[in-house]
Amino acid sequence: MRFVFFVATILSLSACNFNITPTFYIRDIQDVISDKQDIEIPIFIKLPASDVDSCNSEIGQVIGILDTYGIDATLQSCSADENNLFATANVEFTASVVYSETSQVKNFKGIVGLIVDEAGDGVYYLNLQANPNLPKAMSDIEGALIFATLDASQVGFIITLNNDTRRSVTFNIYDSFVNGVATDYNTFELGPRSELEVRASDVGANLFFNRGWFGLGDFTNN
């Protein structure tokens, strides 16, 4: 899929591994379940540009095209590496928290979305999904991207679940690294005012690029 190479490019820096690190809050997830309304949270991503002088123009083109497809982004700053070989743009995107009755949704504003999929009996699946409009935006952006196409294996996903409530929440987490420990499937209790760090496995990352989403885990909303 050509979409794969575009996502890998905009989320990576040349010769570097790059992690996408959204933090999702339990209260937001519960509000989405209750209100059935999307919530957007900020996420900052560093994008490469050919040089500092061209950074505003190049990244501005990319942001403008993404905006056309309903994907919000704001350029925060441009800076050069210490050897002045390339430039980096710090761009603020949004990640969406979205209620759904299916594993995927057709539209949301964020560049990625945490899909809260209702399974019944109070059980909800959590899936991380790419914005469905990225494949459409790719053909328009392709000509504006001057930097090299990169391998999707350089992009990692580290999702933090933050329990900002006063009650413990129990999660079943799938095939990933939880707080640095590998697990195929395990149950974790997330206490009040605590966090769970979930790093997607290579299988999960490949599913994100090839299928558009991967399953993070599930929980029961009491």
Read off the pLDDT band of 6 (50, 70, 90): very low
User: Residue 199: which of 208, 212, 191, 189 has the closest Cα?
Assistant: 208
pLDDT (0 to 100) of residue 213: 93
185: exposed, middle or buried (Cβ count in 10 Å: 0-12, 13-18, 19+): exposed
Count up the domains in the chain and report the number. 1
Sign of dihedral through CA atoms 159, 98, 209, 6? negative
Structural domain for 119, as ranges: 2-220
pLDDT for 151 beyond 70: no
Mean pLDDT of all residues in 122-143 = 84
Q: Which residue has the higher pLDDT, 100 or 136?
A: 100
Angle formed by the axes of helices 134-141 and 52-68, nearest 10°: 140
pLDDT recorded at residue 171: 97
Residue 24 has pLDDT above 80, yes or no: yes
Q: Is the pLDDT of residue 145 over 70?
A: no
Q: Identify the CA nearest to 159 among candidates 128, 134, 188, 182.
A: 128
pLDDT tens digits along 34-80: 999 999 999 988 877 778 888 898 889 889 989 999 898 999 999 98
- pLDDT value at 122 more than 70: yes
d(CA 70, CA 68): 6
Identify the pLDDT of residue 158. 93
Question: What are the pLDDT digits (tens) for 183-210?
Answer: 999 999 999 999 999 999 999 988 988 8
* CA 141, 103, 22, 67 torsion-angle sign: positive
73-78 contacts: CB < 8 A, separation 24 or more?
A: 73/111, 76/44, 78/49, 78/52
pTM confidence score? 0.84
pLDDT exceeds 90 at position 93: yes
| pLDDT over 90 (residue 7) | no
Region for 186 from its dihedrals, namely left if φ exceeds 0, alpha if ψ lies in -120 to 50, beta otherwise: beta
